[in-house]
Amino acid sequence: MRDFHAHLAQTSAAPLGIVVARARGTWITDTQGRRYLDLIAGMGVANIGHTHPAVVRACTTQLRQYVHVMVYGEYLLAPQVHLATRLATLAGPPFESVYFTNSGAEAIEGALKTARKSTGRRRFVAFELGFHGDTMGALSIGGNPRYRDPFLPLLPDVTILPWNDLEALAAIDHRTAAVVIEPIQAEGGVRIPDPAFLRALRTRCSRVGALLIFDEVVTGLGRTGTLFAFQRSGVRPDLLVLAKALGGGLPLGAFLAPRRIMQTLMRDPPLAHVTTFGGHPLSCTAGLAALDVLLAGDLPTRARTRGAELLRGLEDLRRRHRAVRSVRGIGLLLALELRTPALARRFTARCLAGGLILNWTLHRDTVIRLAPPLTITRAEIAQALRVMDAALEA
């Protein structure tokens, strides 16, 4: 622990501090042998559970063949090609082409560059409390001034609109290259838009020729009860950004687009967007194995059923504990909102002491986000609710 604080860059004054020995399924075990039920899943990474055997087997085989051999796009690497083909097929039109990155923030950066280059426009539009990553471009379209303002000046010509406000969409004009939105805001407090808002947004973007980018870094890969959240809303974006669960536990991001849009990166100049490790063959191998597990087990449907069970349990907690202001969610992306930040901090600390890992969202310090592995069982949900109940009682 001393070396952890002395030599690893810290981003929080109070890290959870669990010394991890192993992780399997929905459980993390520390070096003292204590087990924790994980309702964060690596911030939405472990959709199929931690250290899934199918991913381990696939990666072991790939490690024996080759790892890194050349920068992205120069050699034909089967894991990249197979995963890109699967994703394009599953997402359906208009998504024909996939660009792999190392992370969600890098995928957002690539999507922003692609939008500017393909439209010839400069302006971006995003939404209050949206979160798209911490690189400079991604931060520029972030919707929380507390995290954005210390790094000013950022990208020029960015407009942040109020969330779920139909009238505000008039600000999207013919100068706009792209509008970036999470179909459900995760770090913003699990905020779910009105379906009419997303439909109006799609209509407005189409009318003025702006590209619509859905950031599904959190909501993609089954989390909300469909493989992609846009399938649930019925609104199809022009570009789709994925990461977190995409790599089955390994670093992997991607953005998907029609071929005509993606081809703008090939010319004027060629190699307009390049990456050394994006689409790493080991990560793509893990992503393929994870996708197979997700589909074979119909985990999106499981997310709907288990999510409904967990939501009912949270509603019961709300009725019985005045500390709880509200609950909400879709699939296995849920929120428990407490009345004050202090209550949220004490609640999460007591849950951790009870062997349950959860935390509040980055932009709403009263909101506890629950995003467990989609493999969570009824018994594990019941145990989590017992721990939360005891923490609220205390």
Given 95, 131, 228, 255, which residue is catalytic? 131
Is it true that the peptide bond before 270 is cis, omega within 30 degrees of 0? no
In the 8-state DSSP scheme, what is residue 210?
-
Q: Residues 38, 124, 214, 244: which is the catalytic one?
A: 244
Residue with tokens 């019925």: 234
The amino acid sitting at 6 is A
Q: What does the alpha-carbon distance between residue 125 and residue 3 come to, in Å, rounded to a whole number?
A: 42
Are 249 and 50 spatial neighbours (Cβ–Cβ below 8 Å)? yes
Selecting among 38, 100, 197, 215, the annotated active-site residue is: 215
Amino acid at 145: P
User: Which of these, 235, 239, 278, 236, lies nearest to 116 by C-alpha position?
Assistant: 239
CA 31 to chain centroid:
29
- Exposed, middle or buried: residue 334 (CB in 10 Å: 0-12, 13-18, 19+)? buried
Our answer to whether residue 268 is catalytic in this structure is no
Whether 239 and 111 have beta carbons less than 8 Å apart is answered as: yes
Residue 148 CA to residue 154 CA, distance in Å, equals 8
Rounded to 5 degrees, φ, ψ at 295 are -80, -40
| 215 in catalytic set | yes
Q: Is the dihedral of CA 264, 175, 96, 248 positive or negative?
A: positive
Structure tokens that stand for 10 in this block: 């810290």
Strands (E), 143-273: 158-161, 176-181, 211-215, 239-242, 253-257
Q: Are 89 and 240 a contacting pair, CB within 8 Å?
A: no
**Cα end-to-end span (Å), the chain:** 29
d(CA 210, CA 208): 6
DSSP state of 71: S
Eight-class DSSP state of 392 = H
Structure tokens at 305: 């059923």
Cα 317 to chain center, whole Å? 27
The identity of residue 34, as a single letter, is R
> From CA 44, how far away is CA 51, in angstroms rounded?
14
What positions carry a catalytic annotation? 131, 215, 244
